[in-house]
């Protein structure tokens, strides 16, 4: 089970024209926004990665505007774990649970999840906050990650898992995000 004191959120490569080509793009962006807002409400640290922003462009404005105050980690490796800055910042957080969101599911999300598992992290991927250009690629990646031990869920399932009870002090704020 996810724990607000043990997890962090990693936002992966929701950038430029590529982000506009994702399967179910509007729902993807909406759900990523909900997850980022919830992380902020619940004081869950966020790491923000961008794949070769000079080539792919910056993070899309509707996501970037929620990450004000955060500094993006620009990387060239598909796995976020292939970047030393990312690894250093992740280890500074002293969290053992990682929530992943972003694109593309079958490339950067998949490779990051595999590397995180190898490094001893518990990895959660809400299926509605990741996407690929082709739905088949997303589904294959979700299936492979689940087979490797990644916890597959949804945004709503993740949020209620983090809250655990309707008596949680931030329950009403989180509930408003998903209505």
For the annotated catalytic residues, the residue numbers are 13, 75, 108
CA distance 158 to 164: 10
Question: Which residue matches tokens 């980022």?
Answer: 36
Neighbours of 84 (CB within 10 A): 11
Number of H helices, E strands in the chain: 9, 7
The residues with which 10 forms a beta bridge, in sequence order, are: 47, 100
Q: Residue 51 burial (CB < 10 Å; 0-12/13-18/19+)?
A: buried
CA distance 127 to 22: 13
DSSP sequence for 79-126: SGGG-HHHHHHHHHHT--EEEEEEE-IIIIIHHHHHHHHHTT-EEEEE
């Amino acid at each position: 089970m996810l724990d607000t004191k043990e997890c962090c959120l990693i936002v992966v490569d929701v950038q430029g024209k590529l982000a506009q080509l994702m399967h179910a793009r509007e729902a993807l962006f909406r759900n990523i926004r909900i997850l980022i807002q919830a992380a902020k409400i619940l004081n869950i640290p966020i790491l923000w990665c961008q794949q070769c922003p000079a080539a792919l462009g910056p993070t899309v404005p509707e996501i970037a505007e929620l990450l004000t105050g955060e500094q993006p980690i620009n990387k060239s490796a598909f796995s976020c774990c292939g970047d030393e800055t990312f690894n250093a910042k992740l280890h500074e957080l002293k969290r053992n649970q990682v929530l992943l969101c972003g694109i593309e599911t079958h490339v950067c999300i998949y490779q990051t999840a595999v590397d995180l598992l190898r490094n001893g992290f518990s990895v959660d991927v809400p299926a509605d906050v990741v996407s690929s250009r082709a739905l088949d690629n997303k589904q294959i990646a979700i299936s492979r990650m689940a087979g490797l031990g990644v916890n597959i869920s949804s945004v709503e399932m993740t949020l209620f898992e983090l809250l655990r009870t309707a008596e949680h002090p931030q329950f009403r704020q989180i509930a408003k995000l998903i209505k």
